[in-house]
Amino acid sequence: MPMDSRDRNRKGYRGSFTSSFSYAFEGLRFVLRTERNIKFHVFIAVVMISMSLFFQITKVEWLILFLVIGGMFVIEIINTAIENVVDLVTEEFHPLAKTAKDVAASAALVFACISVIIGVILFGPYIVAYL
């Protein structure tokens, strides 16, 4: 049964500021547990951070790196939310469900392509100088 605003105000519903953090962590745990892609992103992030430490990149380069890593995680998390809402609406095949999931996935694809370009621009000169 859908929850209305009265349900939300009833005792037992954790509606405080701190509990919204706890819900956010529940969401994060769900994504880490269920999404295959997130594990790949964690691996790539560890490789990128290791390379950055090795090459001793500048402060601005660290900022760019964390924006790219953070952006990829955020897009994957939003993508998971959209997938779940679509599955809630219908488990049957529906062209709009397909469009919604494909469009959400395309955001991750676009960001991944841009991240690769940024990675090449950022690490390319360090790698060339090292060789």
Ligand X SMILES: Nc1ncnc2c1ncn2[C@@H]1O[C@H](COP(=O)(O)OP(=O)(O)OP(=O)(O)O)[C@@H](O)[C@H]1O
How many angstroms separate the CA atoms of 122 and 65, rounded? Answer: 9
The answer to whether 41 is annotated as binding is no
Shortest CB 83 distance to ligand X, Å: 5
CB 14 within 8 A of CB 23: yes
Shortest CB 100 distance to ligand X, Å: 8
Known active-site residue 76: yes
Is the Cβ of residue 79 or residue 115 nearer to ligand X in the bound state? 79
Using alpha carbons, select from 55, 53, 71 the residue that is nearest to residue 110: 71
The answer to whether 94 is annotated as binding is yes
How many angstroms separate the CA atoms of 122 and 57, rounded? Answer: 9
CA torsion sign for 21, 22, 27, 31 is positive
Is the Cβ of residue 30 or residue 37 nearer to ligand X in the bound state? 37
Positions touching ligand X (CB under 6 A) are 35-37, 79, 83, 90, 93-94, 97-98, 101-102, 105
The answer to whether 40 is annotated as binding is no
Please report, as a single letter, which amino acid is at residue 98.
K
Is the Cβ of residue 14 or residue 98 nearer to ligand X in the bound state? 98
How many angstroms separate the CA atoms of 53 and 123, rounded? Answer: 12
Helix (H) or strand (E) holding 83, with range, is helix 59-89
Shortest CB 12 distance to ligand X, Å: 32
Residues shown for the chain: 131
The answer to whether 4 is annotated as binding is no
Q: Supply the residues annotated as catalytic.
A: 76
Q: Which residues are annotated as a binding site for ATP?
A: 23, 35, 83, 92-94, 101-102
Q: Which residues are annotated as a binding site?
A: 23, 35, 76, 83, 92-94, 101-102
